[in-house]
Every structure is written in structure tokens, then in C-alpha cells.
A and B are shown apart, each in its own frame.
With several copies, the nearest count.
Chain A
Amino acid sequence: MSIYLDRNSIVLVQGITGREGLYNANRMRAYGTRIAGGVTPGKGGQTIEDFPVFDTVSEAVARTSATVSIIFVPPPFAADAVMEAADAGIKLIACITEGIPVHDMLRAVAAIPADVRLIGPNCPGLVTPGQSLVGIMPGHVFSAGNVGLVSRSGTLTYEIVDQLTRAGIGQSTCVGIGGDPIIGTVFTDCLRAFQEDPDTHAVVIVGEIGGTDEEDAASMIARREFTKPAVAFIGGRSAPEGKRMGHAGAIVSGSSGTAQAKVQAFERVKVPVADSPATIPELVRSVMREPARK
């Protein structure tokens, strides 16, 4: 088992004829992901490196029965691509594109049906190790197992997964939810899914400064809606107030969004917070040994 994604997921690549789209389509296929083809308006009917290309997602869905889509479309057109996927019946959308106008996403998340799961935008995607990779992560750092991971960061995730894998701790599903202010899936969504997944025995939550997603996750744990063992890490402890760290989500404004507040929120609900990615595997082992929180 896993969350969101498994070996049977049939995947489309929106923007497959672009440089990143094609490069990653090949990498995903090499990983074992069932890539059914791609979509690029105006290039329908072509074939690119054996991938059939369609003009519209609805046409692609009709021909391939895909239910998952990954988006590599330039920022001005990416929200449109998200809406197109949702409209065409795609149920899991991973939007990789960085730099989408926040107001485009405000409109998009409001219009997407409730049964469509959007990951991102500005995210690395998700992977169910050994089964399917929908994203831009380096597949070789992942290994199949029973620890779920959800992260606001991209590359920091690889760093942490790498540590887990080297320590012999495999993963059920790893989700990079993205760093933008408006994203489709947040920590609490993933925790809810991990709670339901029998093959996830513990979860690593990789947070960062800005917003209150980490506090919301801690509240959910306090309410006993998530009861599995968990370990957290918060990036940006050394970031000064008022400076935006790369993406709009990561900014400490006054007293809100500080690393300290997030660390405290997790510690209050007995979720240990790692000082460094290097210590995460050890913490995971220790929480998995402990009796479950009640």
C-alpha cells in the first residue's frame, strides 16, 4: 500500500514537448512509472520518444485512461494546465512549475472539484518507492518501506530521504507539497492519508519557516486524528525575520512563522524535532520502538 500513487497509476505529462517535460518523462519511465503519453496544445498527433502527444488532456484521458498528471508548463500557463487536468477527470495532479502567480492559484484551488488532489505547485512531486515516481526527484535515493514522508521542501527532502535509505529505513510514499503560499495539499491532508494507510508505520514531517502548516499538523496530532509515530524537522532556524527565503512561503513575519514556534508546537505533542537531517533516521527508529501515542 501507499498513499495517492502506486504501480497501477497511469500518468500523463503536461508540457511533454518542453525540455524539462521530456527529460523527466524519460526519467520517470526509467523509474518504472506508467507514462501513458503527454499533452502539448498544438502538437497533438505527434510522437516524441515513443510518447504519444495529445492536444488536450480530455482527449488524452479518453485514449489512455490516465488518472494522474504531472505538469511542466511555464508559469503563465500552468494554472490553466491544472484546471484542464481537473476538468478532464484527472484525480491526482502534481504541478512542478515554479513561479505561478499566486492569484492564478487562488482561482484554481477554488475551482478544482473536491475529489481532485493537487500536489504543489512549485513542488518536486511524489514517489511511492519501487512503484511509481511522479516528479523530479532523483529516484535512486528512495527505497521501499514503511515510513511516510511529507515535506515543504524539495532538495532538502532528497537529503533526508537519502539519510533514511542509507540507514536502512525505507519509505511508503514521499510527498513534496511545495513551497508556494497557495498549494493544493498541505501537511494535514497527507497525515490523514498516512493515517489510513496500513503500510505506513511512521511519518517524517519536513517543515520550514513561514505559515502555520506545521502548527496545523501539530494540532491535528493533538486532536488524535493522526496517531502514528512521527518525527519532524524544521528548515530555516537561522533565517532572519522579514527576509523571504527564496519562495514566498518561507518568510518569518513578526512573531508568526518562526522556526521556534513550529519546533515548540511539535514538541508539545511529543513529536521529536531533529536538529539536523543527519539525526532523523535515529529519531525515526526511536519513535517506532516506543509504544504508540494514545
Chain B
Amino acid sequence: MRLLEYQGKELFAKAGIPVPQGRVAASVEEAVQIMREHPAPSVVKAQVLVGGRGKAGGIKFCSDAEDVKGPAQAILGMNIKGEIAKRILIEQRVDIEKELYLSITVDRASKKPIVIASAMGGMDIEEVAAKEPSAIAKYCVNTAGGYWPFIGRRVAKEADIPAAVTGQFVSILGKLYALFFDVGAMLLEINPLAITKDGKLIASDAKVDLDDNGLIRRADLEAWRTDLPDHELEQRARRTNLNYAYLEGKGNENVGVIGNGAGLVMGTMDAVRAAGGEATDFCDIGGGAKADVVRNAVDIVTADPRVKALFINIFGGITRGDEVARGLIAALDGGTWKKDRLVVRLTGTNEREGRAVLEAAGIVAVETMNEGAAKAVAIAKS
């Protein structure tokens, strides 16, 4: 679950990490009220998850309550790379001397939290990595040992963080590390971590990605979820605990894909493309799905008007073929989707029972994934 900048900064502030004074507004009136209460040179920032909002005009300046109207009006409702800015963050402007980079993320390879820092902040860290890899310091923290200040000193030294702010840097990293575990983060990124003209470190931006599975331990953070600007079908899927992603690319998406297991669904998407079509979605009903899950998946995937054919690809392990078949029949019975635009491939556990259920409803399952993909694409193009 990715957070908007203002949410991330709220977490930072609670954790003792310095952030600029700021408040969030959802309307021009609120923005005016904020500037009336805190009249100071400020920056108005679109609260969106996509990158590049600055270039898209999502960051503007103002200095008083009158002055904020224009920027607020311009940004609220702005479409930035397909994402609508529903909120703006109004922050007091900070005089910046230099910009650093600091983040903590989960490192798959070492199975540890990894700290990444650079004295070249303000730009995308991947860009820095490409241009000047030696400007980046990385340190995998021994989870068992936890954070010790020496880690901050070592990273600061290796990243060429100015000596004058090393003390602050070490302290901020310690707090960031504690926050990382406290909220169950996948990523905490401060870019830029600004050095102000008077020598203070302050988090100018905040990028926070929380582990969805970890929210069982932090139900309080779940409340922020509604702020996320995902596709409507994704929101609906999430409410029903379905692994679904709405895919958007060249506009040629035409085959709805449902399968069990992320790998198989991705393989199915690949097979659809290889057959000349394009998947409209990624929909994984997971292991051990019962009939109602299948029914829900069919409902959501077929609610997408781009779907011209639906390909259901099940290889039963923990998932049982008969359960899937029953859910499918129920979805067809209760919905508007027609079985002539449906291709089913069913194999593995309880394959025979499942096929029997399908055949009783007049559906003949195909044998292989490639065969199913070809058939689905043919239907979609017909």
C-alpha cells in the first residue's frame, strides 16, 4: 500500500523525523484557510502516487491566502499521468542548500533491510545509479542486530554526506529504521533529504510503501487505504480480497485472464500475447479458491468493457477443479457473460470432477494453455 506524500510525512513527523510545516487540503477553500492561518511563502504540491508531478505542473508556489487560490484551483482535479490529484499539500517553503537521498527498503537478495544513501539527492536514484554508481552507498542491516549508530556513520562516510550534518543524518536514519519496522514498510524514501541554508536536515518529500500483509498488525494505517487512486475495479477487487490488476498499455487489450497462482496467470498473459492478443488484467484466484471466489473474479474481470473474451486457466494443486467449475457455473448463471466468449482450461487436482461439472453446463475445457490462449484471442477478434 503506497501512501501519499502527506501521509508519509505524518508518519515521519510522529517518528521524530523533521518535515516542513504543512497541511493537506481537498478544496480551494481549505487551502485559503490554511494560508490564512499560516501566511508564509509556501509550496502547493499535488498529492499523487505517480512520479514526475513537478514536470506535469503539479507543484506551484504561493505566499498568502489570496495567492493560493490559483495554484490550488489548477492542481486540484489535475490529471497527472492518469491519476487525479484529489488533495494538495501546502507546505512552508524551505531554503535548500543541498539535496541528499536516503531510503530503506527490503532487500530480497540479502533478506535484510537495505539502507541506500547518496549525496546526490533530488533526482531519481536509478538515474544516479546509472550515471554515477560510486555516489551511492548501500548497507544491508543485520535484522538480528538491528540499527546501531555506526551504521549511519558508515553510510554517511561512504555516501559523502557533508560532515557537518552527519550527526543529524545518523539520528534521522535511526528513526527511519525504527519506523520501517513499526509500520511494516516495504520502502521508506526521503528524496530529497534537504540540507537547509542554516544547516538543518529536513525531509522534503516522503515516499512510503507499506506491506499489505503487514497491515494485520497495523489496522490503524488501513484507514488511509481509501485515499489511494487505484482503478475502480482494483478497489472493488481489494475489498473482496482478490488479487487483481487492471492492465493498461497500447489500447489493444482484449482478453480477460483468470488463473490460479501468480506465475500461471503471468504465463497465461504471456501466452495470450504470443497468440496475438493482449490481457486486460492480471487476476489470480490464489491457492485453494472456493466457488464464490471464482464467481467474484469472473464478475470483476468481465465488468471491464474491453474484455472481448475470457480465458480461465486453472492448474489445480491446492485449488480443486470441481470448486472452480461450480463457481464458474454460478457466475454464468447469475451474470450476463455468455459462455461462447469463455475459454476454460482445467487440469490438476479434481480435474475430472471439474470437467464433468462444466460439460453438464455445455462447456468443453481445452487441453493446454497455448491452445486456450489461441482460442480466446480468436474469439476476442471475432
Contact = CB atoms under 8 A, between A and B. Distances in A.
Nearest to A57: B150
Interface string B258-287: 011111111101111110001100101011
Nearest to B283: A246
Interface in A94-136: 96, 98-104, 106-111, 124, 135-136
B178 interface: no
A141 B288 contact: no
Given A41-B153, A56-B154, A151-B263, A254 B126 contact: yes
Interface string B147-172: 01111011001000001001100000
Contact of A276 (B184, B211, B271): B271
A76 interface: yes
Contacts of B211: 101-103, 248
Interface stretch (B18-26, B67-75, B104-112, B300-308): B104-112
A181 B316 contact: no
A251 B33 CA distance: 41
B47 interface: no
Given A56-B157, A110-B142, A278-B368, A236 B270 contact: yes
Nearest to B350: A138
Interface residues of B, number: 72
Given A138-B348, A154-B264, A245-B245, A24 B318 contact: yes
Nearest to A20: B288
A225 interface: no
Interface string A64-105: 000000000001110111011001100000001011111110
B300 to A, nearest CB: 14
Interface in A25-73: 41-42, 44, 55-59
A102 B126 contact: no
Interface string B198-218: 000000000000011110110
Interface residues of A, number: 83
B247 interface: yes
B245 A243 contact: yes
B270 A237 contact: yes
Contact of B108 (A76, A136, A212): A212
A156 B108 contact: no
A149 to B, nearest CB: 13
B248 interface: yes
Given A98-B287, A101-B216, A276 B265 contact: no
B316 A111 contact: no
Contact of B106 (A79, A182, A250): A182
A213 interface: yes
A159 B369 contact: yes
Given A98-B286, A278-B370, A124 B317 contact: yes
B150 A238 contact: no
Interface in A178-197: 179, 181-183, 186
Contact of A238 (B153, B272, B319): B272
A77 B145 contact: no
A136 B216 contact: no
A203 to B, nearest CB: 17
Contacts of A245: 245, 262, 265-266, 282, 284
A247 interface: yes
B112 A136 contact: no
B214 A103 contact: yes
B163 A42 contact: yes
B160 to A, nearest CB: 12
A73 B260 CA distance: 20
Most buried by A among B142, B157, B315: B315
A110 B263 CA distance: 27
A216 B109 contact: yes
B213 A243 contact: no
A6 interface: no
A180 B181 CA distance: 18
Contacts of B318: 20, 24, 96, 124, 136
A97 to B, nearest CB: 10
Contact of A152 (B145, B166, B263, B319): B263
A273 interface: no
A140 to B, nearest CB: 8
A211 interface: yes
B148 A84 contact: yes
Contact of A158 (B146, B166, B284, B315): B315
Contacts of A212: 108-109
Task: List 5 tightest A-B contacts by C-beta distance, closest first.
Answer: A153-B263, A111-B145, A155-B261, A246-B262, A84-B150
24 contacts: A20-B288, A41-B166, A42-B167, A44-B157, A55-B157, A56-B153, A102-B213, A110-B111, A110-B145, A124-B318, A136-B287, A153-B264, A155-B263, A162-B315, A213-B109, A235-B267, A239-B269, A239-B282, A245-B245, A246-B265, A246-B282, A247-B243, A247-B262, A276-B369
